[in-house]
Amino acid sequence: MRRILCLLMLCFAAALPARAAGLLQPKDSALPPLQIKDHTVKVVINNGFAVTEVDQVFHNPHDQDLEAIYTFPLPKDASLSELSLWIDGVEVVGEVVEKERAREVYQEEKKAGRDAAVAEKRDYIAFDVYVSPVRAKSDTRVRLLYLQPLEIDSGVGRYVYPLEEGNVDEAAQAFWNRLPQVHGTFSFDCTLRTSYPIDEIRAKGYEDLAKVRQESADTWRVQVLSEEGTVSLEKDMVIYYRLAQDLPARVDLLSNRQGDGQGSFLMVITPGADLKTISEGVDWTFVLDISGSMQGKIAVAGDALGRSLDQLRSQDRFRIIVFADKAREITQGWTPVTPESVAEGQRAVLSLQTEGGTNLYDGFLQGLSGLEEGRTSAIILISDGGANVGPTENGAFLKLLDKKDVRVFTFVMGQGANQPLLGRLAEESNGFSMDVSNQDDLYGRIVQAKAKLAREALHGLRVEIDGVPVSELAPARLPSAYYGQQITLFGRYTKPGEATLRLRARISGAEKVWETKVRFPGQDGDYPELERLWALARIADINKQLQDGGKKSELRQAVVDLGTQYSIVTDYTSMVVVSEERFKELGIDRKNKGRVQKEREAREVRWQGQPRDPRADTTQPMFPGARAPHVGSGGGGGAGAGGPELVGLLTALYGAREYLRRRRGKQC
Amino acid sequence: MLIRVPWRSLGVGLAAVVLTAAAPAPLLYSRHTILQGEVWRLFTCHLVHGTFNHLLWDVLPLLGVGILFERSLKDRFWTILAVSSVVVCGGLLVLQPDLPTYCGLSGVLNGLWVAGSLSAARDERSAGSLAVAALYQACVFALLGKIAFEAVTGVSLFTDPSKLDGVAVPMAHVLGALGGVLALPTRVRRAPPRASFTLPAESL
């Protein structure tokens, strides 16, 4: 029944346009665009997070110096932690300062003709890297590195190297030309190192070029290499790695603590697969974006929605709402599922046309109207862009959810959709949000979504840690965990020792508690990146408060403090690169340089050694005997056994046999 | 009414309890690894269960089947167990290539049920207990009806999928029953007792 969502995902995502990330050149320049000479990507996925290093060489074939702007689509939850520029052949690592200050410094350097670069975060959409000058007839090399935590969903890890930019507004589209072609070498080298065995790896996006191989028991590699200058950076690279099918439900813990100071930790809880299936009737409201950005996709969207209606059960009801400049319902209120109503709904969605802007608020408002008490309600919200008509603030949307008993499931299509808002709506309503890249292996995403919607979920999650002082947990409020999802928690701790870890959750209204012991080490320098990842998670929490209308100046300052202390590019901080001398003259502390050095050394040590086993509950499993959910897991012999009914039947059979035998005995 | 202890079924049930508690991953049916050569999984996967419920509702019926049919099956119990194990897993490999993992006794239990019912019906008929033989035959038909229902609807009878660590696999029941039928003719033929005996003198 819940294939509806999956089919929608399939068809919508298939229709998303591909827009390449690349080098941009002002249109008013008479010169042709700069060239991407080489594009080298090195990714290391090691125990729950990925380190992505992008090295680019730009070539300016013209007789005059130019400024280059490189736009990099912002990967989800990514922390840009290094931006390096080669000045006089020497690598200079950037430092994070307040956004305005970074701009001033960059403009000053640009005006003076000195080498400089600045990386800014553009909302939830992209990092913009400005480089000046790219010298006439010469190359400029820029390197950036970002960290991002990766989650395993139903036993499958997913890494996306985003190259398809979305949600570039029309003015920008008109003003800039883009050039995604790599004229020299394109190389992508991803190494996966994990102590949990990997069954298989699948690379999507550049299948014709990708080579996947297992190098050792714990190391896999995906490589794409093209030296012919023919690769066009128009598609995301998506890598899936499927863990072995029979891994236990577990608690993983990575930590970083050096000296007697505060340590940071990353805890990943993988609950067991023993969640019951649900079968009651549901009121489904489909809220579909038909704004201008859906041009070219609407026919596919209509087809997807139509086929989804085919999957509804007779006890379900549905409504279909579409929105552009304003929302309207194309059904007549709650519609019982009959062959006729489904056929009518299908006809209606197949005739949809795109129009106007994106009034997501009105669409959501209409979707929430008319919900009936006593019925299980769900809203499926599908959008490929950011709201640009009507209220667009998070707070306004969240107010609509007040006192509404409805689960919102959002499907965020492509890089340009407003993931923070759509994710927040899902989180607030205890639903879930799913990102879909154009290059996603949609069948896999469908399988994952279907498994989640078909089963009970863990709501009202709380993690308690006793025995070791922990603080500043992030996220402050854990979202519901659906089948296959992991619970990820960052935090700080001040003293080492053994802690009692308790997980509390509501499953179908019943409170459930799991408990185990975990050890927080006194010294651990293997993962210094955890400090930044923790800070990034804290910033994400603060950003939520900001978007909900919290005290702007205080929260903004908190983001700036975290951003500058942990060298993270945020909405209010940017990373600037100037020469070493200029850093000194400008009085910019080289904090990030030291941090980068430490992180590089740790990565080198990790690279040389075996991947560490992150499991923290081996001696006292938190979920005794339970196995981790796994995509396609069809285990369970499904017993012709299977219940007290059969045991009763066998008992009756035994009784009947004995009765017949005794009767025969008497007759004899 | 004295219940005869089904030692063989009890042994298999205990093995299932121990192996499920130990949760040994290398014993599960894993299509991927079986095809890579780990053929022991064809036999061992039946003893491992996804959840406690799954184990409980496989082992209890196994004991019931043991109480009813073990006396008739005798050591053919093991043959049926082995043949059903291979037929279930081999069949799943061929007929259900989209099934990555499988575990549990249910498949082979269907084999024991069908073979046990047929064997017991034959024994009872030979002994002249036609009513009991008919009861056993009814068991066979009931099982075939259950399997047919499952095959047509795709719904596994008596199985609550939420209590399994995965989904029910009706195909395993069909294959298990087939295994039971295939294993049944392997009845160990004992040499008939020699006819040369002497009658007691007083009977003359």
Q: Answer whether residue A345 shows pLDDT above 60.
A: yes
Calpha distance A492→A626 (Å, rounded): 29
Pick among B144, B162, B175 to test the A interface (most A CBs inside 10 A):
B162
The answer, for B162 touching chain A at a CB cutoff of 8 Å, is yes
Give the 3-state secondary structure of residue A372.
coil
Residues A558 and A478 in one domain: yes
Question: What was the pLDDT predicted at A338?
Answer: 87
The answer, for B145 touching chain A at a CB cutoff of 8 Å, is no
Q: Which of B1, B28, B52 sits opposite A246 (nearest CB)?
A: B28
Report in angstroms the alpha-carbon separations of A333 from A318, A369, A370, A531: 8, 10, 8, 51
Alpha helices in chain B (DSSP H): 7-22, 31-35, 41-44, 52-73, 76-95, 106-126, 130-153, 170-183
3-state secondary structure A35-56: EEEEEEEEEEEECCEEEEEEEE
Of A438-447, A526-535, A543-552, B190-199, the poorest mean pLDDT is in B190-199
Domain final residue, candidates A533, A564, A595: A564
* Residue A153, both tokens: 């969903």
Give the 3-state secondary structure of residue B203.
helix
A285, burial (CB in 10 Å: exposed 0-12, middle 13-18, buried 19+):
buried
> Cβ(A241)–Cβ(A213) under 8 Å?
no
Q: Look at residues A425, A343, A427, A351 and name the one whose alpha carbon lies nearest to residue A383.
A: A425
Q: Find the CATH number of the domain harbouring A329.
A: 3.40.50.410
Q: HSE of A320 in the Cβ direction (CA atoms, 13 Å)?
A: 25
Amino acid at A484: G
Domain housing A262: 250-272+458-564
Q: What is the residue whose two structure tokens read 């399997």?
A: B147
Kindly state whether residue A371 falls inside one of the protein's structural domains: yes
Radius of gyration (C-alpha) of chain A in whole angstroms: 27
Q: Do A635 and B132 touch (CB under 8 A)?
A: no
Q: Answer whether residue B201 shows pLDDT above 50.
A: no
Of A186-200, A387-401, A607-621, the poorest mean pLDDT is in A387-401
Residues A291 and A267 in one domain: no
* CA geometry: angle A163, A168, A174, nearest 5 deg: 115
Residues A377 and A424 in one domain: yes
Q: What is the pLDDT averaged over residues B62-85?
A: 92
Q: What is the pLDDT averaged over residues A14-36?
A: 49
The answer, for B165 touching chain A at a CB cutoff of 8 Å, is yes
Calpha distance A414→A20 (Å, rounded): 12
Domain final residue, candidates A453, A469, A488: A453
Question: What was the pLDDT predicted at A52?
Answer: 94
Residues A446 and A464 in one domain: no
**Phi and psi torsions of A294, nearest 5°:** -85, 0
Kindly state whether residue A438 falls inside one of the protein's structural domains: yes
Domain final residue, candidates A564, A599, A631: A564
Kindly state whether residue A112 falls inside one of the protein's structural domains: no
Kindly state whether residue A136 falls inside one of the protein's structural domains: no
> Cβ(A636)–Cβ(B169) under 8 Å?
yes
Residues A546 and A404 in one domain: no
Calpha distance A284→A315 (Å, rounded): 11
Residues A488 and A440 in one domain: no
Kindly state whether residue A392 falls inside one of the protein's structural domains: yes
Residues A346 and A492 in one domain: no
pLDDT > 70: percent of chain A: 82
Number of domains present in the structure of chain A: 2
Kindly state whether residue A549 falls inside one of the protein's structural domains: yes
β-strands A282-289, A317-323 pairing: parallel
Q: Look at residues A439, A400, A395 and name the one whose alpha carbon lies nearest to residue A420.
A: A395
**Phi and psi torsions of B114, nearest 5°:** -65, -45
Q: Find the CATH number of the domain harbouring A510.
A: 2.60.40
Question: What was the pLDDT predicted at A230?
Answer: 64
Q: What is the pLDDT of residues A483-517, one digit of tens each?
A: 888 999 999 999 999 999 999 999 888 899 999 99
Give the 3-state secondary structure of residue A219.
strand
Alpha-carbon distance A16 to nearest alpha carbon in chain B (angstroms): 29
Calpha distance A349→A383 (Å, rounded): 16
Q: Look at residues A398, A521, A533 and name the one whose alpha carbon lies nearest to residue A51.
A: A533
Confidence of residue A601 (pLDDT cuts 50, 70, 90): very high
Question: What was the pLDDT predicted at A269?
Answer: 94
Work out the number of other CB atoms within 10 angstroms of the CB of residue B9: 26
Q: Which of B57, B64, B100 sits opposite A245 (nearest CB)?
A: B100
Q: What is the pLDDT averaged over residues A344-355?
A: 86
* Residue A412, both tokens: 């965020």
Question: Where do the domains of chain B lie, and which CATH numbers do they carry?
Answer: 7-186 (1.20.1540.10)
Work out the number of other CB atoms within 10 angstroms of the CB of residue A513: 10
Residues A482 and A531 in one domain: yes
| Residues 6 or more apart in contact with residue A416 via CB below 8 angstroms | A125, A165, A166, A167, A168, A293, A384, A385, A386
Question: What was the pLDDT predicted at A301?
Answer: 63
Residues A285 and A395 in one domain: yes
Q: Which of A245, A646, A653 sits opposite B101 (nearest CB)?
A: A245
Question: What was the pLDDT predicted at A395?
Answer: 80
Residues A421 and A440 in one domain: yes
Question: What was the pLDDT predicted at A297?
Answer: 61
Chain mean position to CA A320: 27
* Residue A182, both tokens: 């790599």
Chain mean position to CA A18: 19
Cis peptide before A26 (omega within 30 of 0): no
Q: Which of A199, A248, A638 sits opposite B168 (nearest CB)?
A: A638
Model ipTM over 0.95: no
Alpha-carbon distance A260 to nearest alpha carbon in chain B (angstroms): 40
Task: Report the Cα–Cα distance between both ends of chain B, in Å, rounded.
Answer: 39
Q: What is the pLDDT of residues A211-242, one digit of tens each?
A: 888 888 888 999 988 776 666 666 778 888 88
Q: What is the pTM of this model?
A: 0.68
Q: Look at residues B146, B161, B158 and name the one whose alpha carbon lies nearest to residue B50.
A: B161
Kindly state whether residue A287 falls inside one of the protein's structural domains: yes
Q: Do B159 and A657 touch (CB under 8 A)?
A: no
Question: What was the pLDDT predicted at A36?
Answer: 76
Alpha-carbon distance A613 to nearest alpha carbon in chain B (angstroms): 17
Report in angstroms the alpha-carbon separations of A580 from A84, A144, A590: 12, 18, 9
Rank A405-419, A629-643, A649-663 by mean pLDDT and report only the highest: A649-663
Q: What is the pLDDT of residues A630-640, one digit of tens each?
A: 764 443 334 33
pLDDT > 90: percent of chain A: 32
| Residues 6 or more apart in contact with residue A164 via CB below 8 angstroms | A16, A18, A19, A20, A21, A73, A234, A235, A236, A414, A415, A437, A438, A439
Question: What was the pLDDT predicted at A414?
Answer: 61
Confidence of residue B160 (pLDDT cuts 50, 70, 90): low
> Cβ(B129)–Cβ(A664) under 8 Å?
yes
Q: What is the pLDDT of residues A546-572, one digit of tens each?
A: 877 767 888 999 999 999 999 999 999
Q: HSE of A300 in the Cβ direction (CA atoms, 13 Å)?
A: 15
> Cβ(A305)–Cβ(A381) under 8 Å?
no
Q: What is the pLDDT of residues B47-59, one digit of tens each?
A: 988 777 788 888 9
Q: What is the pLDDT of residues A49-98, one digit of tens each?
A: 899 999 988 888 888 888 888 777 777 778 888 999 998 889 999 999 99
Q: Do B30 and A639 touch (CB under 8 A)?
A: no
Residues A530 and A395 in one domain: no
Chain B: residue whose CA lies nearest to A626: B51
* Residue A177, both tokens: 């030309």
Residues A437 and A502 in one domain: no
* CA geometry: angle B173, B179, B181, nearest 5 deg: 105
Kindly state whether residue A368 falls inside one of the protein's structural domains: yes
The answer, for B35 touching chain A at a CB cutoff of 8 Å, is no
